[in-house]
Amino acid sequence: MANLSSDSAAQGYKQASFSAQKVDGEKFIHTDVCPQVGDVILDLGCGTGELSAHLAELVGTAGNVIGVDPDKERIQLARKSHSGIRNLSFVEGSAANFPGMGSKVYDIVFSNAALHWIPGKQKAFKNMFESLKVGGKIALNYLDHLAPFELDAYEKLNAENAKRICQMYQCESKAKIEQYCSSAGFEIIRSYETHSTDLIFESNASLLEYHWASTHGVFDPTLVTEERLGRYLAPYCEKDVNNVFQRIRAKLPVCRIVAVKLT
């Protein structure tokens, strides 16, 4: 944790994406997204591209996947990590500015763990709608609120940065997201609540790196004292029969919505 740069934050995010987020994202893809060979897909908020690469494999060489993220370092790492995949490209952008916006070129707009970072959601849904072919769909996995595991981390471990971190999130209720979706013209197929795969951390250091990387480096591990850590970990720390530390485990409540453009 010595090098707290934006580049290493992107690398830390990539490592975090190999765990629960990647597992959950792939499950969501196979149960709800269901891409077909030849599909053209936009991965909105692609991070370092692990799920984009999985989608590219599923649509085959007849299809195409474009990953978009506003984080320049994550996009650079995604390009480097997945340079050998010919039907996959990465572009720095956002829900307000992405390739093909408004041109009705996509079969699917996919987004995993990104909608809760996006401001101006009504406009974002309109942009997605206008960028899909008729019969195309959106499939979004998002947070509608901050769970205690995350909120407590910011407030108890990083009180100095808590306000700034919380203001980065743009969480809105499931009902409000459904309203935005319907108002944009979509027919909602599924909208439901579930939980993430267990987040498991084998050490305090890996936990702090997760919070640091997932907040674009704003969470500062150097501010975390033993006293702060002890107060925060109590509900999540697993110990053996001899009261010896084993691991840290938590779940995050998430929401998912799948909707289709009928006309």
Predicted confidence (pLDDT) per residue in 178-231, tens digit: 999 999 999 999 999 999 988 888 889 889 988 998 898 999 999 999 999 999
C-alpha to C-alpha distance for 117 and 165, rounded to whole angstroms: 11
15's torsion region: left (phi>0), alpha (psi -120 to 50) or beta? alpha
Task: Find the length of the chain.
Answer: 263
Residue ranges in the chain assigned as alpha helix (H): 6-16, 22-28, 50-59, 72-81, 121-131, 148-152, 162-168, 174-183, 204-214, 226-233
Residue 244 has pLDDT above 70, yes or no: no
Residue ranges per structural domain of the chain: 6-145+170-199+253-260
The stretch 233-248 carries a mean pLDDT of 75
Would you state the structure tokens that stand for residue 7, as one six-digit string?
């580049």
Query: Residue 30 CA to chain centroid, in angstroms?
Result: 17
By three-state DSSP, how is residue 49 classified? coil
* Residue 237 confidence class, pLDDT cut points 50, 70, 90: confident
CB atoms under 10 Å from CB of 108, counted, come to: 25
User: Considering the domain 6-145+170-199+253-260 in this protein, what is its CATH number?
Assistant: 3.40.50.150
